[in-house]
Amino acid sequence: METLEKIVSLCKRRGFIYPGSEIYGGLAGTWDYGPVGVLLKNNIKNQWWKEMVQLRNDIVGLDADILMNPRAWEASGHVEAFTDPLVECKICHQRFRADKAEEIEAHEKSHGQDKVEWTEPKKFNLLVKAYLGVVEGEQLEVYLRGEITNGVQVNFKNVVDSTRIKMPFGIAQMGKAFRNEITPGNFTFRSKEFEQMEVQYFIKPDETEGKKWFEYWKQNRMDWYVKMGMRKEKLRFRDHEDQERAHYARMATDIQYEAPWGWDEFMGIHHRGDWDQRRHQEFSGQNLKYQDPETHEEYTPWDIETSAGVDRSMLFFLIDAYTEEEKRTVLKLHPLLAPYKVAVFPLLANKPELVAQAKAIYDDLKNNFMTAWDARGNIGKRYYAQDEIGTPWCVTVDFQTLEDKTITVRDRDTAKQERLPIDKLKDYFDNKLSL
Ligand code: GAP
């Protein structure tokens, strides 16, 4: 089995990710996160938020609505230009993105000897429409946001007016986005509904400043993924050519991961210039300019954006962590990202004194750490199950525990065990997680 297939299967088996509405035959490009998957996804988002908002004094958070006045999407250029080039195979009428050479090639191969002819590429808008209102025929056509950026852009002035934040500063946001993708695929990589985590970083309009902050955010984001455990050699930057840049971008660079299907993007850094702020001023007729509190200079700021997919980040964290050893499969996730930090077991499930002591430890630890409980099967099977979901430490209560109040802690990556007093456990995990 190929690596991606193995990961898809592990994700389903262990409760990371299920196909969307599976009992009805599914819905292409939609995925549901299970009990373990939602923990991993939340940990990625929480670590990102901590790094971007909690630990910085130049970035504040925002949570804008998905639904917006449709004029906002005209202003941002999405109604006109948020498109992919679509071509149709004249033999089987399947539709593809003309700019995805590998997918076109694979499809041509699937027709064997038959020569495939394609329709001329036409622009296909990715915005997903929805309808608001209770009277048929009088409903308002709105869009499910195609990127989360617009809610930040329209609130730029609200944030400036309601905080003391000064330029340069950023606004961070996470949330769902929707795209009518022509060819969803590669598991969650290209979905119709997905989450993004973005910072719009506003700066003074100046070429040198723009380049400086663009380079700064490129390196900052690359470093974060390495800090969160991704292998450096699997990551690289890829600058966009002029003709492939999104309609709003003056400069754009992707951070790519070497996926099982080749190098592919999981986040982008975009120099949006004054595109959004200028257009929202033109379309709304409002003055959204920033006024420097000291010099009183007024200007429309430039925006350097970092935009990451939560689902793609999670997929690449999973792929990067997936390790097959002779006798086990291990997800070597960074402990801060691991769904559970600790699992607690009684050595034997049929010895009430062991179970009671283990339960007491479990009840205590779960106040501080996401803690799993397992008393099924033998200890080897429990280790195996925890390794597969990436739990960094397993605590076992055995007969010695009843005598001297010590337990064993088994490390996921080395499989080595050490004995510790029960009352040192919390400090032990705190120390490990603060590295
Ligand atoms: N605000 C800028 C923006 O949305 P983008 O390059 O179109 O830029 C940013 O998207 C990130 O969102 C991508 O790098 C990717 O991680 C994620 N993303 C985009 N489309 C996606 C899709 N169909 N499925 C999953 N993730 C997607």
pLDDT in tens, 334-349: 999 999 999 999 999 9
Integer CA distances (angstroms), 292 to 273, 287, 296, 336, in order: 18, 15, 5, 39
For ligand 1, whether the C-beta of 149 sits within 6 Å is yes
Q: Going by CA atoms, what residue is nearest to atom 19 of ligand 1?
A: 309
Cβ–Cβ < 8 Å for 428, 409:
yes
Integer Cα distance of 71 and 296 in angstroms: 31
Residue-wise pLDDT tens digits, 254-294:
999 999 999 999 999 999 999 999 999 999 999 999 999 99
Residue with the two structure tokens 């450096």 = 232
The atom of ligand 1 lying closest to the CA of 148 is 1
Q: Going by CA atoms, what residue is nearest to atom 2 of ligand 1?
A: 307
Which DSSP helix (H) or strand (E) runs through 202?
strand 193-203
Where helices occur in 124-175 by DSSP H, the ranges are 149-153, 156-162
For ligand 1, whether the C-beta of 266 sits within 6 Å is yes
Q: Work out the average pLDDT over 9-20.
A: 98
- In DSSP terms, 96 is beta-bridged to 87
Q: How confident is the model at residue 137 (pLDDT cuts 50, 70, 90)?
A: confident
Which mutation among 30, 194, 225 tests ligand 1's pocket best, with the greatest number of atoms within 8 A of CB? 194
Residue-wise pLDDT tens digits, 376-416:
989 999 999 999 999 999 999 999 999 999 999 999 999 99
The atom of ligand 1 lying closest to the CA of 191 is 24
Cβ–Cβ < 8 Å for 169, 60:
yes
The atom of ligand 1 lying closest to the CA of 270 is 2
For ligand 1, whether the C-beta of 271 sits within 6 Å is no
Q: Going by CA atoms, what residue is nearest to atom 22 of ligand 1?
A: 190
Residue-wise pLDDT tens digits, 62-75:
999 999 999 999 99
What pLDDT sits at residue 338?
98
Q: How confident is the model at residue 243 (pLDDT cuts 50, 70, 90)?
A: confident
Query: Encoding tokens for residue 91?
Result: 């033999």
For ligand 1, whether the C-beta of 89 sits within 6 Å is no
For ligand 1, whether the C-beta of 195 sits within 6 Å is no
- Find the range with the poorest average confidence among 23-32, 239-248, 281-290: 239-248
Residue-wise pLDDT tens digits, 164-223:
899 999 999 999 999 999 999 999 999 999 999 999 999 999 999 999 999 999 999 999
Instruction: Determine the distance separating the centroid of ligand 1 and the alpha carbon of 198, expressed in angstroms.
Output: 10
For ligand 1, whether the C-beta of 267 sits within 6 Å is yes
Integer CA distances (angstroms), 73 to 56, 78, 284, in order: 30, 5, 12
Q: Which residues contact 389 (CB under 8 A, 6 or more apart)?
A: 14, 15, 16, 36, 331, 338, 339, 340
Instruction: Determine the distance separating the centroid of ligand 1 and the alpha carbon of 408, expressed in angstroms.
Output: 44
What pLDDT sits at residue 1?
62
How many other C-beta atoms lie within 10 A of the C-beta of residue 181? 19
Measured over the CA atoms of residue 32, residue 38, residue 40 and residue 42, the dihedral's sign is: positive
For every residue of 331-345, DSSP letters joined together read E---TTTSS-SEEEE
Instruction: Determine the distance separating the centroid of ligand 1 and the alpha carbon of 181, expressed in angstroms.
Output: 11
